[in-house]
Amino acid sequence: MASAINIQRVKEATRPVYGPLEGISEDAARTWVPLDKPGAGGHRGWYLWADAFDVINFITLSKEKSSPIYLILVKRLVSAVHDVLRSTRDGSARLPGATDDEPLKGGLRIGKMDAHGGDGVGQYRHCLTLWMFALNRLALATCEKVYNQLGAELAKTIHPHFVKHREGADGLRMVWKISTDMKTVLVPSEGHLDTATGFIIYRLLERVAGLLYEPPSGVLIDEISDYRQLMSREG
């Protein structure tokens, strides 16, 4: 169990972003809508990296306070993040590839403030991996397989855009950032931990699929094999 001080810190971390939520009723939680401009710091208040940590914070509060209300809230939060970041920056259309049945087939924008430039909007490997982890943990917390399925859908969708097959001895390589439409590599270098975190999170998604699905999906076997190959490189 976490200490009372640590739980208070978790509450304090979420309050500036979404406002006070202590004492909210179950009925109110079911209709809760995150602020129009939550305080996560990104464009229109949404920033995928910070939002992923907030998902984990809500799951933690649910467990430590034995309150299902926080799980209701976190599901509402995930829905809001997907509605905003699976769409174009102006909100006028879905990202290319996304559909009603496969909402994350276009990936997720990070939510950067700047529309252009090296530190601007796009899809970032480490942020997407963290969001997959958040969805995976939510699936376990709620015993609802749909969240792990969404994580696996995102994982499979982005993989060929971040993990590149090359001719010759170099074989596979990873890139760090791609354009929002996933058509262009924007930062060709590899994140220091992207191979290890990719392997771990993809394995987690596959393992939880085995716990929650009948039969297990096996949907990420090829991608996991790529990560195993990437980690076996020398140097």
* CA atoms of 152 and 139, how far apart (whole Å): 12
pTM above 0.75, yes or no: yes
CA-based nearest residue to 109, from 101, 99, 100, 98: 98
Would you say 147 and 139 are in contact if contact means Cβ atoms under 8 Å apart? yes
* CA atoms of 31 and 214, how far apart (whole Å): 32
- Spatial neighbors of 125 by CB under 8 A, at least 6 apart, are 158, 162, 174, 175, 176, 177, 191, 194, 198
pLDDT above 70 for 42: no
CA-based nearest residue to 158, from 138, 128, 136: 128
> If you search the block for the tokens 């208070």, which residue do you land on?
8
* CA atoms of 118 and 163, how far apart (whole Å): 20
Question: Comparing 73 with 118, which gets the higher pLDDT?
Answer: 73
* CA atoms of 57 and 21, how far apart (whole Å): 13
**Structure confidence by residue, pLDDT tens digits, 102-124:** 999 999 999 876 666 666 689 99
Would you say 91 and 84 are in contact if contact means Cβ atoms under 8 Å apart? yes
**Residue 60 pairs with which residues in a beta bridge?**
none
119's tokens: 């530190």
End-to-end CA distance of the chain: 40
pLDDT at residue 51 in the model: 92
pLDDT at residue 8 in the model: 83
**Structure confidence by residue, pLDDT tens digits, 146-204:** 999 999 999 999 999 999 987 765 689 999 999 999 999 999 999 889 999 999 999 99
| Mean pLDDT across the chain | 89
pLDDT at residue 75 in the model: 98
